[in-house]
Amino acid sequence: MAAKFEVKKGKSGQFSFNLKATNGQVILSSETYKEKRSALAGIASVRKNGVMDGRFDRRTAKDGSPYFVLLAANKEVIGKSEMYKSKTSMENGIASVKKNSPEAVLTDLTA
């Protein structure tokens, strides 16, 4: 199975996307967008910024769980990860985004 971006429309009518690794696990989730074309632009931004280590902001949640956010050049959040149990797992998630984002296929679940 190939890595993929899935674009979806929520109950609120807003759009979002997930980047899924080859094992089907979500490795990055986007913010919500009012328009589908904005979500597609977000995916293009992940493809561009997701290969640059400096664009990953490694963070710690209040409960101590590590996670990361992917930032655009203007420091806007493009997407964020799940909460991980360890920093090593988080780093593996970042490596997966770097590896999968440039070639991930686009799956449109809004149609």
pLDDT under 50 in the chain at which residues?
none
70 near 30, Cβ under 8 Å?
A: no
Q: What is the pLDDT of residues 23-54, one digit of tens each?
A: 999 999 999 999 999 999 999 999 999 999 99
**What CATH architecture is 4-108?**
Roll (2.30)
- Per DSSP, helices labelled H in the chain are 36-49, 87-100
Res 18: pLDDT? 98
The answer to whether 27 and 21 have CB atoms below 8 angstroms apart is yes
